[in-house]
Amino acid sequence: MAVDTLETRELRYFVAVAEELHFGRAAERLGMAQPPLSRAIQQLERRIGVSLLERNRRGVSLTGAGEVLLHEGRAALDATTAAAHRTRRAGGADSPGGPRNRLVLAVKAAGSHELLQKLLDAYAAAPDAAEIEVLPSGLCEQEGMLRDGRADVALMHAPFNSLAGFDSEELMTEGQIAILPAGHLLAARKTLSLADVSDVPDLPLARWPRHGTYTPGPGPEIHDQTQLAQLIALGRTVAVFPDSARAWLWAEHTAVPLTDAPPVVTHIAWPAHSRSLALAGLIRTAAQL
Amino acid sequence: MAVDTLETRELRYFVAVAEELHFGRAAERLGMAQPPLSRAIQQLERRIGVSLLERNRRGVSLTGAGEVLLHEGRAALDATTAAAHRTRRAGGADSPGGPRNRLVLAVKAAGSHELLQKLLDAYAAAPDAAEIEVLPSGLCEQEGMLRDGRADVALMHAPFNSLAGFDSEELMTEGQIAILPAGHLLAARKTLSLADVSDVPDLPLARWPRHGTYTPGPGPEIHDQTQLAQLIALGRTVAVFPDSARAWLWAEHTAVPLTDAPPVVTHIAWPAHSRSLALAGLIRTAAQL
DNA sequence: GTCCTGTCATACCCGGTAGGTATCACTGAG
DNA sequence: CTCAGTGATACCTACCGGGTATGACAGGAC
């Protein structure tokens, strides 16, 4: 094989090891035994002629080149699975009616329903409107959905999602609020600052995954919005959300505006190289909202 | 293998067939026999559950899904080889002194030397300047160099290069000129329009590859700038170039401004997901030019 | 109609290699 | 010193990627 050609399998293996920093766990995640994984990584290092991992006395760490390959390899794997996903959709293998003109729009499940509804209504009125499948995603997963081709287009929220590599159009800007248990001391305040809510001893800030991993901290790890709502209602945590989150607050919650939180900008984003006419129509509609 | 995982090898094979639209030629290009290639494509179609090629009585054509996979597959292959290239450079495998802080800048060999010199001088004066390796490329190849990781950053020229998927910064705008044999009738004119030069019977417009393929037309196919210069000098062709091409004109050439040609915008462009500090410094320098 | 040619598919075989199991070598903790 | 935990090595097997030979089929020439 040419020395500048990596196999998808090799990239998958390396990314797994680089993320786990542990051959055993990585092998388990990959559903294989540890020795062939070790060997595959060694072959990879020999092939590209670069050392990717430091094997220390206890465990593994990334070299500089390893960090580059982790980063670039993830992008390459995303592009590869995106090719598979989009091809399958274009062929209509997952839509029983055959290859229809259909777009998959990824949205944050906890996001503003209002903006989405306006967009869908406006687009449905367009003359050549394609069918839109709305794909609700977890708290910050639209970005991954778009990168690996599960979606054709997404509503994303800067600065939480990175728009790098996508084309995008700005739709809306809003402030952020702190969502507190209604009975809490801070809930009585008219406004709050980030410092006010980030270091409350009895109310640790909720954490949710960014790009698959949780930031370390004392607060609870959040998997979905309902769980978060419950934890807040129980007085166990506090969360910071865009203003439109008011739509799903419970009676047990209190929203207090944050004065110094960065504004959240909602964009409609799509792969920069996309050539879909249906997508172009949707974007035009969105830009005119 | 999971159904949404394509191997690099499969993508390479499919892209070759999709570009050649002929199994035999594609197999030859891939350095293999035709039957295993046929089988590999069939397996690929079965795996993703979509028909990619129409096998007609005589030859092959792409289905809609096939066109999608050609497009997305090229991007995925580029991302994969980019991972290999950038990793190898990060490890210093091709720079004998080890993993140095070095950036590869792709430029059009026939481009403006002046702007490049200014950029390099300004950056060299920066406090933490990395080593810049200037990689001269063919007439429109910088884009490919950047996409497949042979370069870290490039000077690109809209509208000839597509900036899709890159971050970029505008550097310069210039008009276009027609480069004619000095003795030709049109060379006496003060200005010309595109229509004037595009249909001259005795002077067909030169053609050079865009993304690897030549546009059809009567004019000669150009491989490098010297060859083009010679053909013009011999009175065999005419070419349209940005204004800065005046720098390499011969005595046998005449440059005439074009009134209705789109302006050419030179950008500095880099992969949107890049994290290199050295690159950030170069971009900052370029933006201040 | 009958060739003949060009094209992709099928049949069958072989060797390389990806993956498994068993084990080793090393290092820190107790 | 022993033991637990880690990655590397040795060795074997089975699969599959690739090769050659050939088939099936469609047009074109006449």
Q: Is the pLDDT of residue A249 over 80?
A: yes
Of all residues in chain B, what percent carry a pLDDT higher than 90?
Answer: 71
Better-predicted residue by pLDDT, B42 or A93 = B42
**Mean pLDDT, residues A126-146 taken together:** 89
Nearest to B247 by CA among B201, B196, B151, B179: B179
- CA B226 to centroid of chain Cα atoms: 18
Better-predicted residue by pLDDT, B101 or A90 = A90
- Give the CATH number of domain A176-257: 3.40.190
SS3 of A115-167:
HHHHHHHHHHCCCCCCEEEEEEECCCCHHHHHHCCCCCEEEEEECCCCCCCEE
State whether the beta carbon of B29 lies below 7 angstroms from any atom of strand C: no
Of all residues in chain A, what percent carry a pLDDT higher than 70?
Answer: 95
State whether the beta carbon of B36 lies below 7 angstroms from any atom of strand D: yes
Measure Cα distances from B185 to A163, B37, B180, B182, B198 in Å: 52, 54, 9, 9, 14
Nucleotides in chain D with any atom closer than 7 Å to protein CB: 6-11, 17-22, 26-27
Question: What is the per-residue pLDDT across A160-189, written as a single tens digit (0 to 9) for each?
Answer: 899 999 999 999 999 999 999 998 999 999
**Mean pLDDT, residues A210-235 taken together:** 82
Query: Chain B closest CA to A217's CA: distance in Å?
Result: 25
Q: Which helix (H) or strand (E) holds B75?
A: helix B64-91
So what's the pLDDT on residue B135?
93
Domains B101-170+266-287 and B176-257 share a fold: yes
The closest CB to that of B87, out of A48, A78, A93, belongs to: A48
So what's the pLDDT on residue B4?
82
Interchain proximity B82–A72, CB inside 8 Å: yes
Q: How many Å is the maximal CA-CA distance in chain B?
A: 67
Rounded Cα distance, B220 and B271, in Å: 34
Q: CA angle, B146 as apex, B143 and B150 as ends, to 5°?
A: 125
Query: Chain A closest CA to B80's CA: distance in Å?
Result: 5
State whether the beta carbon of A33 lies below 7 angstroms from any atom of strand C: yes
How many Cα atoms occupy the beta-carbon half-sphere of A257 within 13 Å? 6
Calculate the average pLDDT of chain A.
90
State whether the beta carbon of A58 lies below 7 angstroms from any atom of strand D: yes
Q: Which helix (H) or strand (E) holds A106?
A: strand A102-108
- Flag the least confident range among A224-233, A250-259, B39-48, B172-181: A224-233
Question: What is the per-residue pLDDT across B120-163, written as a single tens digit (0 to 9) for each?
Answer: 999 999 888 899 999 988 878 899 999 999 999 999 998 989 99
Phi, psi of A205 (to 5 degrees): -65, 130
The closest CB to that of B4, out of A68, A81, A167, belongs to: A81
- Amino acid (1-letter code) at residue B250: W
* CATH assignment of B101-170+266-287, among 3.40.50.300, 3.40.190.10, 3.40.50.720, 1.10.3210.10: 3.40.190.10
- A17 CA → C1 C1’, Å: 68
Q: CA angle, B72 as apex, B69 and B75 as ends, to 5°?
A: 140
The closest CB to that of B84, out of A48, A78, A272, belongs to: A48
Q: Where are the domains of chain B?
A: 8-87, 101-170+266-287, 176-257
Better-predicted residue by pLDDT, B96 or A218 = A218
So what's the pLDDT on residue B218?
78
Q: Which helix (H) or strand (E) holds B227?
A: helix B225-233
**Mean pLDDT, residues B71-91 taken together:** 95
The nucleotide whose C1' lies nearest the CA of B34 is C8
Q: Is the pLDDT of residue A139 over 90?
A: no
So what's the pLDDT on residue A280?
94
- Give the CATH number of domain A101-174+264-287: 3.40.190.10
Pairing of strands B153-158, B264-271: antiparallel
- In this structure, whether the domain defined by A8-87 belongs to CATH 2.60.120.10 is answered with no
Q: Is the pLDDT of residue B52 over 50?
A: yes
Nearest to B86 by CA among B22, B156, B152, B136: B152
**Highest mean pLDDT: which range of A208-222, B44-58, B127-141, B248-262:** B248-262
Of the residues B53, B54, B72, B275, the best mutation for testing chain A's interface (the one with the most A CB atoms within 10 Å of its CB) is: B72
Q: Is the pLDDT of residue B65 over 80?
A: yes
Split at pLDDT 50, 70, 90, the class of A88 is: very high
Beta bridge partners of A264: A174
Nearest to A88 by CA among B63, B59, B40: B63
Dihedral-angle region of residue A106 (phi above 0 means left; psi in -120 to 50 means alpha; beta otherwise): beta
Split at pLDDT 50, 70, 90, the class of B212 is: low
Question: What is the per-residue pLDDT across B237-263, written as a single tens digit (0 to 9) for each?
Answer: 999 999 999 988 999 999 999 999 999
Split at pLDDT 50, 70, 90, the class of B1 is: low
Alpha helices in B92-181 (DSSP H): 113-124, 142-147
Q: Is the pLDDT of residue A33 over 50?
A: yes
Chain B residues whose CB is inside 8 A of the A270 CB are none
Interchain proximity A69–B83, CB inside 8 Å: yes
**Mean pLDDT, residues B216-243 taken together:** 87
Rounded Cα distance, A178 and A191, in Å: 9
Nucleotides in chain C with any atom closer than 7 Å to protein CB: 7-12, 18-23, 26-28
**Mean pLDDT, residues B59-73 taken together:** 93
Query: Chain B closest CA to A113's CA: distance in Å?
Result: 29
- Amino acid (1-letter code) at residue A159: P
Rounded Cα distance, B100 and B222, in Å: 37
So what's the pLDDT on residue B48?
92
Rounded Cα distance, A77 and A63, in Å: 20
Q: Is the pLDDT of residue A74 over 80?
A: yes
Chain B residues whose CB is inside 8 A of the A11 CB are 80, 83
Alpha helices in chain A (DSSP H): 8-20, 23-30, 34-48, 64-91, 113-124, 142-147, 194-198, 225-233, 277-287
Of the residues B43, B77, B80, the best mutation for testing chain A's interface (the one with the most A CB atoms within 10 Å of its CB) is: B80
Q: Which helix (H) or strand (E) holds B53?
A: strand B53-55
Better-predicted residue by pLDDT, A190 or A224 = A190
Q: Is the pLDDT of residue A95 over 50?
A: no
Sheet containing strand B239-242, strands side by side: B239-242, B176-181, B253-257
Q: Is the pLDDT of residue B208 over 90?
A: no
The nucleotide whose C1' lies nearest the CA of B17 is C8
Interchain proximity A11–B83, CB inside 8 Å: yes
Dump the DSSP string for A76-98.
HHHHHHHHHHHHHHHHTTTSTT-
Measure Cα distances from B51 to B1, B25, B41 in Å: 19, 21, 10
